[in-house]
Amino acid sequence: MTPSSLHIGDFLLDTASVLQIIEDIAAREVRPFFGKLSSTDIQKKSDGSLVTPVDPAVEALLSSQLKRLLPDAVILGEEATAEDPAHLDLLSLSEKPIWVIDPLDGTSNFAAGRPEFAMIVALVHRNKTLAGWIYDVLGHRAAVAVAGKGAFLAGEQVLFNQNQPLLWSNIRGGWTINAIDPAHRGSVKAAAAQFRTITNAHCAAFEYLSILENRKDFHLFNRLKPWDHCAGALMLQEAGGRALRLIDGTTYTPNVSDGGLLVGSKYEYLQQLRQFFVNPSDKKEHRD
């Protein structure tokens, strides 16, 4: 069973109520527009990423309804931050709980009519993620995690098997190649040819869901936006996995904004993978 409540100061937050809000908004404001956007509905933001009319509309609705659940909280949303990057300062300055919202993760997929897009919500307080929700809009899959109470997918608890050996040739992973030092990219691509699969859904939420479902062992991200990773990193941690900065191997926290992010189900193997990505010329330890 998914954990049903979370204490935030004097408030008792019902985790099912958060998921219900997400599901209701998805049904009304996201699903009906899938495959029905015109070319003029798809615009580029200043960072080159895409935005549609659905993104800000969903963020506004989520912000309003989540604020009612936890009146003392503040909002950190992807679209509002695109308009005013100073919103990111909330992660280091706010003493209040923060709703971190990605209204439509995988907007490029949504705009192109591909099904890999999701809604992500996380609750952060003092640089710690307390709870997270990922909702696959078309697949009706929901993942929920509460710090110290576990990670759940479709209502079933997820626990990774840390004792199961993982051979290099069986690794199922993916990456954003820009996370790797340009001097090493060729070597990484060549050496990683022995991996079982390398895929990229172009949607952070789907990468986290794939790991939770044991369809993928790791993913390497380049961009570390909090709305992409707070919820998913908590889910992996609660299931026994980890999210590590590529640059130094430290554990991910919401205020981390650079250094690449290596996430996966097995900490020991993530450490080996990190060394491989940082120094692919040292191949001895990566053989089966």
User: pLDDT tens for residues 204-256?
Assistant: 999 999 999 999 999 999 999 999 999 999 999 999 999 999 999 999 999 99
The C-alpha atoms of residue 136 and residue 155 are separated, in whole angstroms, by: 14
Interacting residues of 184 by C-beta distance below 8 A, sequence separation 6+: 277, 278, 279, 280
Is 118 in contact with 106 (CB distance < 8 Å)?
yes
Residue 26 pLDDT exceeds 60? yes
Q: How confident is the model at residue 282 (pLDDT cuts 50, 70, 90)?
A: low
Calculate mean pLDDT across residues 107-135: 97
Q: Is the pLDDT of residue 3 over 80?
A: no
Which residue in 261, 287, 256 sits closest to 274, CA to CA?
261
d(CA 285, CA 288): 8
Left, alpha or beta for 37 (phi > 0: left; psi -120 to 50: alpha)? beta
Q: Is the pLDDT of residue 287 over 80?
A: no
DSSP 8-class letter at 140: T
Q: What pLDDT digit, counting tens, does each position of 37-83 carry? A: 999 999 999 888 999 999 999 999 999 999 999 999 999 999 999 99
User: Cα–Cα distance between 174 and 171 in angstroms, integer?
Assistant: 10
Encoded amino acid at 45, one letter: K
Of all residues in the chain, what percent carry a pLDDT higher than 70?
97
Q: How confident is the model at residue 6 (pLDDT cuts 50, 70, 90)?
A: confident
Q: Which of 189, 182, 253, 257 is nearest to 224 (CA)?
A: 257
| Measured CA distances, 110 to 35, 94, 117, 190, 203 (Å) | 8, 32, 6, 32, 10
* Beta carbons of 8 and 17 less than 8 angstroms apart: no
Whether the pLDDT of residue 285 is over 70: the answer is no
Class of domain 168-286: alpha beta
Domain boundaries, the chain: 5-157, 168-286
Domain 5-157: CATH superfamily, name plus number: Fructose-1,6-Bisphosphatase, subunit A, domain 1 (3.30.540.10)
Strands 172-173 and 197-198: parallel
- Tell me how many degrees the CA angle 117-119-125 measures, rounded to the nearest 5: 140
Range from 28-37, 120-129, 185-194 carrying the lowest mean pLDDT: 185-194
DSSP 112: H
Q: How confident is the model at residue 284 (pLDDT cuts 50, 70, 90)?
A: very low
What is the pLDDT at residue 204?
98
Position with higher pLDDT, 213 vs 177: 213
Pairing mode, strands 98-105 and 74-77: parallel
Q: What is the pLDDT of residue 198?
A: 93
CA dihedral 115, 122, 151, 155 (to 10 degrees): -60
pLDDT for 1: 66
Check whether 283 has a pLDDT greater than 80.
Answer: no
Do residues 141 and 135 touch, judged by C-beta distance below 8 A? yes
How would residue 279 be classed by pLDDT, with cut points 50, 70 and 90?
A: confident
Q: For all residues of the chain together, what is the average pLDDT?
A: 93
Residue with tokens 């794939």: 210
Which pLDDT score is estimated for 288?
47
* Contact by Cβ (8 Å): 226, 232: no
Look at residue 121 and tell me whether its pLDDT is greater than 60: yes
